[in-house]
């Protein structure tokens, strides 16, 4: 049961990080700035595919893997990426502590 609870917490964090990451890119796009959703052609995809791309970035960032196939472009995206990397330290400690 503890393992299931840990997965739920991780999913919750990844979900919110993905939503915020996409929202920040959408705001930057609205202001006329270049964003990761334009550079990686995510803007033309279906909403579920956009969410999966955002969740992929969030999960790889929070698990400290960081493939680099999706990278933040705008200033707000970069700052949020930094915050996610700092938060990832706590998430990683939480995972190791629970295991």
Does residue 54 carry a pLDDT above 90? yes
Tell me the residue range of the domain where 62 lies.
2-98
- The pTM of the full predicted model, rounded to 2 decimals, is 0.87
Question: For residue 21, which of 7, 40, 35, 39 has the smallest C-alpha distance?
Answer: 35
Give the length of the chain. Answer: 99
- What are the tens digits of pLDDT across the range 19-50? 999 999 999 989 888 899 999 999 999 999 99
pLDDT of 66 reads 75
**Tell me, what's the pLDDT at 63?**
81
11-24 pLDDT, tens digit per residue, is 999 999 999 999 99
Q: What are phi and psi of 23, to 5 degrees?
A: -60, -45
- Counting the structural domains of the chain, the total is 1
The per-residue pLDDT for range 66-76, each reduced to its tens digit, is: 787 889 998 99
- What pLDDT sits at residue 90? 84
* CATH code of residue 33: 1.10.287.70
């Amino acid at each position: 049961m503890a393992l299931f609870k840990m997965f739920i917490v991780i999913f919750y964090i990844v979900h919110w990080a993905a939503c915020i990451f996409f929202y920040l890119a959408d705001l930057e796009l609205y202001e006329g700035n270049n964003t990761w959703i334009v550079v990686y052609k995510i803007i033309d995809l279906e909403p579920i595919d956009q969410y999966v791309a955002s969740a992929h970035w969030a999960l790889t960032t929070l698990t400290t893997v960081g493939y680099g196939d999706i990278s933040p472009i705008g200033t707000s995206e970069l700052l949020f990426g930094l915050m996610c990397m700092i938060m990832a330290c706590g998430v990683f400690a939480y995972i190791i502590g629970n295991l």
